[in-house]
Structure 1
Amino acid sequence: MKLTVPTMLTLLRIVLIPVLVVVVYLPFKWTNFAAAFVFALASLTDWLDGWIARRFDQYSAFGAFLDPVADKLMVAIALLLIVQQHPTIWMTVWAAVIVGREIAVSALREWMAEIGQRSRVKVAAVGKIKTIVQMLALIFLLYGVPLLGLDVFRIGEWLLAAAALLTLWSGAAYLRAAWPALRNETQPLK
């Protein structure tokens, strides 16, 4: 297996997960900045690996498998850290919606691939918008302190709520696309 640049960037994103966890728990005043920076760097690698893969035709089966895993792990761990630091009902609800949708859509994609209809559940524009809003929300929440007179944490909360609602919308779009296959009772079941 040859490692492509996009796959190396994806692996870097996975390596940044324990770095994020350690940084969040360091007993220094600057850790919020460092945590936001680590997550922003990981988010940038998410965009960059896809751009490089498309631009330079550097696709690989391993990279195609690993990229969504790295994305979901990074987001889930960031949400876990944020909810642990700010255990409010709304923060927990938004995090649960986002993680729950990711699990459901991953299972739906796997099942659709198994029955040969993976192309029905492609990433849609609303999913890309959701990802951008979600990444910004998590960066703001990890940073969490006022900046230039802006209540960064409150902005992050509103962005996370928007990301959760976009998550529901995009999840419904995936379900709608897969519904004909889900309704078909003649599909073999395991």
Structure 2
Amino acid sequence: MSAQIVTQFLRLRRSIRQHQVLLDRASATRAMLLRQAKVLDAGSPFDRARAATYRARHENINPFWHAGIERRRALGRQLLDLAPAFDAATTFEQRLDLLNVNVADRADITPGAGLVMIVAGYCREDSAARRREEFNDGALFNSAHLEIVITMADSATGRAATEKVLVDVFGPAAFHMLDEKPKLHLVSTTPEGAL
């Protein structure tokens, strides 16, 4: 294991996690301000000035929030750039340990999977701590996923691949989107000839 690469990864992971906390706080504050403004708008007409104040505060936070999203993307790019060197410098078991993958979840991961696949494909970063979460909200996942999605949306081949996946998964012939009516038939509750 290369100590320099692992140290670089650990510092990057710490930065990504700290940034996630700040971005979550900013998102919660934005949502709270809009919610309060809507509540005040629905109430007394005398509260309109306070609602406007909440909306103005929301607008003041927006540039910082958007800058935070851009910073998340930049951190995701750094993580993706570091991944090949990290994979080369560590063994599969070391990667799982450094990503805090629970021993119970390791059987699901293909042996030899790299950093990006474990974080963005299997979504197993800090798997024990996130076991009961409905959606994957891991800091490394969010950063890597944002960079991957925007990069795919910005390139012609990425858009074509995305459209193909969406058609395969959600298209008219896709397994999950079959809209078939249930095969029902009417059954009489009275015996034939009883009437």
TM-score by length of structure 2 reads 0.33
Which structure has more relative contact order (CA 8 Å, sep 6+)? It is: 1
Q: TM-score, normalised by structure 1?
A: 0.34
